[in-house]
Every structure is written in structure tokens, then in C-alpha cells.
A = this chain, B = another copy of it.
Amino acid sequence: MYTIAELTNMISTEIGQIRYKAQPANLYTPIQYILSIGGKRVRPLLMLMGYNLYKEDVSTIIPNALALETYHNFTLLHDDLMDKSDMRRGHATVHKKWNENTAILSGDTMLIMAYQLFNQGVENNEARTAFIEATIGVCEGQQFDIDFETRNDVTEAEYMEMIRLKTSLLLGYALKIGAILGGASTEDIHHLYEFGEKMGLAFQLQDDLLDVYGDPKKFQKKLGGDIIDNKKTFMLINAFLRADQKQREELHHWVNSTSCNEEEKIAAVTHLYNVLGIDQLAKQKIEELFAVALQSLDKVQVAEEKKAQLHAFANQLLERKY
């Protein structure tokens, strides 16, 4: 069984060894660029770890794992274009460094390359079907996210379903596909999926929490971004639910104000979150989801020492130090 560090190294090496055609250079250079600027490689790592619970030699499924990472980076490329984001992981986004049409077409080509890579891996129809399901679900999640921007009546359940599709589905499917390819039982496949999905939900809620309460030195994005964008997060939705009439009016004021001082808006909304105990509510929800994730992992019928690595990884992802 490989350690997390060994698997991470293996993935980095393999990503660096993907061979691109020389021409058309304007198509392939942006793909190579976005795949080279890093990231935690969480999805291929989860796939290899899921597989490694059942089979030793992960080398045969490397193409499948690279397919997931390629797909994930395709979504970042097109999402950044749709969101008009200028930076990603400290580097210029593809549509800023090149142009919008390059971002569209290189993204499309990455999506195809993902299926090409998957097809070069182990041939397994169940795994292939799962991969396609996952990739279509992420697009649905992105559409809900876009739809929510212009809605003011998004419920907590709708928000949770959106982040399930957009973020945690692919984490769950990474483990699921790894387990399928490793020959796991139907039950194990299900529990590993659930573990990944719930861990993903906890991860996204933590990201929302850190967007408000994070350490500016550690958080990779600018703090308060969700507040400025009026993102209907778990936190904002619950703030509206818990607010009394005066507080609700104040929240409405900030959400509807288009030309206010950003620092002032962040401070005011954060203050309301503090008063309403939204930080505690979010932390509690994260703990709940994390506990459910671990319960699912617990049900997986492999040796405890093998599962310990996935547990450790979840702690690491959620930056838990215990």
C-alpha cells in the first residue's frame, strides 16, 4: 500500500509526462499550462487510494486518475471564464493569459482528453458510466450555482444539493471509481462514495466558513469574497432564517446595496453572523457531516490500517490537527 505522499508524487510525475501534440500550439499550450500550475490533486489521489484498498499495483489505473484531474481542471478553466476570474492558484487564468475563445476551445479539448485518458485506462463499463455520471452532475451543479446568483429564495436544501453536485460528487465518484476498478463489493463502493460525498460537503462548508473567518495568511482567496458577491451560502441563508425583523432589514440592505464600501459590508455582515451564531452553526454542520462521512468509512469491509490512511486524508483536507 502506498502512502499519501507516494501517491501524490506519482500523480505529479505522471501529469508532467502527459504528451501533447505540438500543433495546434494555441490549443494545447493552455491545457499544459493549467495542468502545470498545481493544485492538491485531490481527485486522482482519492481514486488511487480507493483502488489501493483492494489492489496493490495502482499503475494500471493512472490514466483513469489523470482523466479525473484533467476533467477537474477543465471545469476550473470554464468556470473561471464564466465567473470572469482573473487569477487561479496565483497565476493568470487562461482567458486572461490568452483570450476567451482559447479558453472555450482548449477547455472543450481538455474535456475530450479526459475521456481519452479514461479510455486508455482499465476497460470497465461500470467505471466508465460512473465517470460520465459524475462529469454531467458537476455541470448541473455549476448551472444551479449560476441560477442562484439571481434568486433570493434559495433554501438550505437547494444550496446543499448545489454544492453536492458541484463539489462533492466528484470526490465521491473518485473513490467510487477507484473501488470499482479495484473490484470492491457493491456495499463497499456505496460506502466509499458516501464517505467522499459527505467529506466533500464538509469541505465546501468549511471553505464557506473560512471565506468569512479564515486566517488571511492561510486562506488562498481574498477574505469576504462570498459576502461581496452576495453568494447564497449556507451561512447567508441561515442568517436570513435566524434574523429578527431589524436584522433581516439590515441583511437585505447589504445584499441589495450595489455601491457600498467593501470592507464596511464585510464587517457588517460578519458582525451579523457573529450575533446570530452563524459561525457556530456552520461548524456544527461541518462536524455532523464529517461524522457521517466517517461512519460510512467505518462500514467499508477492509482492514482498519488500510482505512486509516483515508481517515488521515480527510483530516488533512479539513485541516484538522487531531
Binding site for B on A (CB under 8 A): 21, 23-24, 26-27, 78, 81-82, 101, 104-105, 107-109, 111-113, 115-116, 119, 123, 125, 128-129, 132, 135-136, 139-140, 142-144, 146-147
- What is the interface of chain A mostly: helix, strand, loop, or mixed? helix
Inside 8 A of A23's CB, which chain B residues have their CB? Answer: 140
Number of identical monomers bound together in the oligomeric complex: 2
Inside 8 A of A104's CB, which chain B residues have their CB? Answer: 78, 81-82, 104
Cβ–Cβ contact A144 & B24, under 8 A: yes
Cβ–Cβ contact A139 & B105, under 8 A: yes
**Minimal beta-carbon separation of A173 from chain B (angstroms):** 13
Cβ–Cβ contact A146 & B105, under 8 A: yes
**Minimal beta-carbon separation of A296 from chain B (angstroms):** 26
Residue in contact with A26 in the complex, picked from B115, B125, B128, B147, CB distance below 8 Å = B147
- Nearest residue (CB) in B for A113 is B136
CB contact under 8 A between A101 and B115, given known A24-B140, A123-B125, A143-B27: no
**Minimal beta-carbon separation of A98 from chain B (angstroms):** 11
Residue in contact with A115 in the complex, picked from B81, B109, B132, B140, CB distance below 8 Å = B132
Cβ–Cβ contact A147 & B108, under 8 A: no
In addition to A26-B147, A105-B139, A109-B136, 18 A-B residue pairs with Cβ atoms within 8 Å of each other are A24-B143, A24-B147, A26-B143, A27-B139, A78-B105, A81-B104, A82-B104, A101-B146, A105-B143, A105-B146, A107-B108, A108-B111, A109-B140, A112-B136, A113-B136, A115-B132, A119-B128, A119-B132
CA distance A57 to B21 in the complex (A): 39
Question: 29 A-B residue contacts at CB 8 Å?
Answer: A21-B140, A23-B140, A24-B143, A24-B147, A26-B143, A26-B147, A27-B139, A27-B140, A78-B105, A78-B108, A82-B104, A82-B105, A101-B146, A104-B104, A105-B139, A105-B143, A105-B146, A107-B108, A108-B111, A109-B136, A109-B140, A111-B111, A112-B132, A112-B139, A113-B136, A115-B132, A119-B125, A119-B128, A119-B132
CA distance A143 to B143 in the complex (A): 27
Inside 8 A of A125's CB, which chain B residues have their CB? Answer: 119, 123
CB contact under 8 A between A119 and B129, given known A81-B104, A104-B81, A139-B27: yes
**Minimal beta-carbon separation of A157 from chain B (angstroms):** 13
